[in-house]
Amino acid sequence: MPRVPTGAAAPTGEVVPAIPAYFDNAATTPLRPETLDAMLPWLSGGPANPSGSHQLARAARRAVDEARDVVAACLGCHPGEVVFTSGGTEADNLAVLGAHRARPGQVLCSAVEHAAVLGPCRSVGGSTVPVDGMGRVDVGALRAALHRDVVMVAVMAVNNEVGTVQPVDEVVAVVREAAPGAVVHADAVAAVTWLDVASVTSGCDLVAVTAHKFGGPHGVGALVVRDGTPWVPVLSGGSQERARRPGTVDVAGVVGMAAALAASVAERAETVTRVGALRDRLVAGLVSSGCGARPTLGADFADVAVAGTAHMTFDGVQAEELLLLLDRCGICASAGSACASGAMEPSHVLLAMGIASAAARQALRFSLGRDTTAEDVDRVVDRVPVLVDRLRS
């Protein structure tokens, strides 16, 4: 966990704790101990390129194959359907561009997709499907948009900003009925810790995940390409990953990813229950504090969002200013996307949900994880009202 200098004065006059209260797990998660243990032999051992033929290379290839078996079991696919990538962004790009290259045509995605899907979708002339006020894709609008020229539909399993669980099963059913030749892609990057991805995405043709969202290392992810899916490689230059993603495989990375994924799946039920209770405690504490905080998804947020996300709106307070003060108090949170200049822009997710631009600039995301404690939650509930009052005054 990153540390800040001790003894620094917070805006409230308190001493900033040495270890921040980390509420940005939706952005990245702390490395699990199982991950580090699995990776260390490959980080500190001899050279090992799994594409070689000597004994060190063969050992590396066995490690990659074993990791592939674990990832496949956790994601509900065959080992040969797993393509290791550099992360979720590459996996999403390969999914969209590879499907479109195989069968050029219309691509549809929800209006609240991550930029890793929205970008390539727009680059091939694709269109977005609207969502409701909770951020769920409008299945009726999707049905109306489907026609024989649609070659792909992309809908994320869980929204990375507000935590909304998407009706993936409904989407798959509608696509199979109205455009049976279309490929369905699920960005499951934000889902692994909270949902049974193998079950949720069982009807999808393509599925993307990334390790650092569930306690694995940065720079490694996977794309599931189910056998028979119309999809062709986007990159060229090597035979690795059955020529679907050329380049030397990061042995330590994929081994660490497999360890983190297996541990996350094994602990999921306990994590969801424990973290969900902490999330509800945080939301209830902020709402009852009288600081004008309210769940962005409304009072029924827990019915539609994963257990780790508390997306809150603070009336009359700019999120960017509140985040700065929180950071100075040793509390790490986040808001919407920021443009290249560093100025906070309204989240495209919130705008797609029908939230006005001014209100969107007042929203923060507190994302909890397996390491979040009750003490962390209490720090947020204690400090946020003070900081909000200071900004308003």
Provide CB contacts within 8 A for 139, sequence distance 6+.
Answer: 167, 170, 171, 174
Q: Are 334 and 364 in contact (CB under 8 A)?
A: yes
Class of residue 47 by CB neighbours under 10 A (exposed 0-12, middle 13-18, buried 19+): exposed
Q: What distance in Å separates the CA atoms of residue 299 and residue 294, rounded to the nearest whole number?
A: 8
Structure tokens at 139: 């299945």
Torsion of CA 13, 294, 316, 343, to 10 degrees: 80
For residue 228, give both structure tokens: 């028979």
Cβ contacts of residue 307 below 8 Å, gap of 6+? 194, 271, 272, 273, 275, 276, 279, 368
Identity of residue 196? D
Q: Are strands 82-85 and 206-210 parallel, antiparallel or unpaired?
A: unpaired
Does the annotation mark 339 as catalytic? yes
Structure tokens at 152: 């792909």
- Annotate 268-283 with DSSP letters as a single string: HHHHHHHHHHHHHHHH
| β-strands 106-110, 127-129 pairing | parallel
- Of 74, 77, 109, 339, which residue is the catalytic one? 339
Active-site residues, by number, are 339
